[in-house]
Chains A and B, each alone.
Chain A
Amino acid sequence: MYSFSKSAPVSRRRLRIAVPVLLLFIAACASTPPIPSASLQAAQQSIADAERVEAGTHAPAQLGEARKKLSAAQRAVDEKKMIVAGWLADEARAEAELAVARTSVAKANAVNADMKRSTATLVEEMQRKTGDSR
C-alpha cells in the first residue's frame, strides 16, 4: 500500500513527479477497496462458533465485544470505510476466538472442580462410614 516509485525521474520534471506521487498517496489513504467480505464472514463464523459452545455463559464479555466489533465493521462497510471494516471484522474474529478459548477453560475447570468435589465427597463418606463402623 505504502510505496513510492523508485523510478522517479532525475530531471526537473518535478511536477510530473509530484503529481503521480500525490495521486499515489491519495490512493493509499483514501481509496475505497472492496468490501472485506472474507474477514466479515470469518468473524461471523467465529461468533457463531462461540455461541454454539455457549460462550454467552462462560465468556459473555468477549462474546459481547465480538458482536460489537462485528456490527461496527458492518457500519464501517456502510460508511465505505472498508479498511477499518476489515480491521474491525478481524478484531471481532479474534475476540470471538478468545471467547471460545475462555469457554473451554471455564468448562475444563468446572469439570475438574466437579471431579475434585466428588472425589472429596467419596473420601469423606468413606471416612465417615469407616468411622462409625462397628
Chain B
Amino acid sequence: MNTHHSMIAAAVAAALALGCASTPKQPAGSEQVRAKLTALQNDPALAAQAPVATKDAELAVTQAEIAQPDAALAAHRVYIADRKVDTAKAQAETRLAEMQRTALNEQSEKARLDARTRETDLAKSDALVARAEAAEQKVAVTQARSDADAALLAANASRQQAEDLQRQLEVLQAKPTDRGLVLTLGDTLFATGKSELKSGATANLDRLGDFLSEYPDRTAAIEGFTDSMGSEESNQALSERRADSVKRYLVARGVKSDRLRSTGRGENAPVADNESLSGRQQNRRVEVIISQANGAGGGK
C-alpha cells in the first residue's frame, strides 16, 4: 500500500466519522439493557417461559451493543432492545401466571370439594338432628294419640256408664218424673199389715242397692204408701215403718244413711182407686225417688 492510498483512506474515514457521528466503543445504555436481559435469562421462574420473545430480545440487545457512530441510531437500537427485553419479561410473567393458575385452580377445586364434603357432613348431621327431632315429635304424637285414646276411652267409659245407668234404671223400671227417677216397689215386699221385708222378694231392692253403690252422687228419697183400709193413723205409721225398713235394708247393703231419706205418706196419695182389689194393691207401695246429690233430677 502506498502512503497516498492510506492517507486517502484515513481522510475518508475521518470524514465519515466527523460527518455522521462519533464512534463510542459501546452505545450508551446498551450495558443496562444487557444486564436486564441477563437478569431475565437467569431468573429460574421466567427464563424458559417466553423463548421466542427472549430470543428476539437477545438479537436486539446484541445489535444494540454494536459500536455505532450514529448516536441516534445507537440510541434507537438501545431503545428497541430495551422494549423487547421488557416485552419478553412481560410475556414470561404472563406465562408464569397462567401456569400458576393451574395450581390455583387445583387449590380452588380442592377448597370447593372440601366445602362440599363439609356441607354434606353438616347436612348429614342436620339430618340426624332432624331425624331425632322427628323421633321426638313422633313420640309426642304417639303420646298425644294415646292421650286422645285415653280421652276417648274415658268418654267411652262415661258413655258406657251412662248407658249402664240407663240400663240399670230400666231394669229397676224407674220412671222419669218431674221429681226425678221414680222407682215403684210393689206390695210384694211386705206381708199384709207388716213392715218387715219378705225374704226372697228383695231382688229389686238389691238392684237398687247396687245402683246406689255404683253412683255415689245419687241420693234416694224413700216414701211409703198404703191403701185406705184401716185407720189413717195406723196406715201412716205403717207407711213410715215400711219406708224405714227399705232404708235399713239399703244401709245394711252399704249405702250411707245420709243419702237416704225415708218418709211415710200413709193412704193419702193413691195411684189407683181403693174400691177394687187391684187398685188397692197398686196403692200399697214404696216409691224410691232417685236424684242427683245436688238435687237435680237424674237422667231423662
Instruction: Count residues of A near B (Cβ-Cβ below 8 Å).
Output: 41
Interface size of B as a range: 35 or more
Q: Say yes or no: B108 contacts A104, CB within 8 Å.
A: no
Q: Could you tell me the distance between the alpha carbons of A98 and B72 in the complex, rounded to whole angstroms?
A: 21
Chain A interface, >50% SS class = helix
**For residue A125, which residue of chain B has the nearest CB?**
B115
**For residue B82, which residue of chain A has the nearest CB?**
A94
Binds A, one of B8-16, B173-181, B244-252: B8-16
**For residue B117, which residue of chain A has the nearest CB?**
A126
Per-position 1/0 for B101-132, Cβ under 8 A of A = 10011011001101100110010011001000
Given A10-B2, A108-B97, A126-B118, CB of A29 within 8 Å of CB of B19 = yes
Can you list 20 A-B pairs, Cβ within 8 angstroms, ordered by A? A2-B20, A8-B9, A10-B5, A25-B19, A84-B72, A94-B79, A104-B91, A108-B101, A109-B93, A111-B101, A112-B97, A118-B108, A119-B108, A122-B112, A123-B111, A123-B114, A133-B122, A134-B125, A134-B126, A134-B129
- With A94-B79, A94-B80, A97-B87 known, 11 other A-B pairs at CB within 8 A are A14-B8, A91-B80, A98-B83, A98-B87, A101-B91, A104-B90, A104-B94, A109-B93, A133-B122, A134-B125, A134-B129
B interface list, Cβ under 8 A from A: 2, 4-5, 8-9, 11-12, 15-16, 19-20, 53, 69, 72-73, 76, 79-80, 83-84, 86-87, 90-91, 93-94, 97-98, 100-101, 104-105, 107-108, 111-112, 114-115, 118-119, 122, 125-126, 129
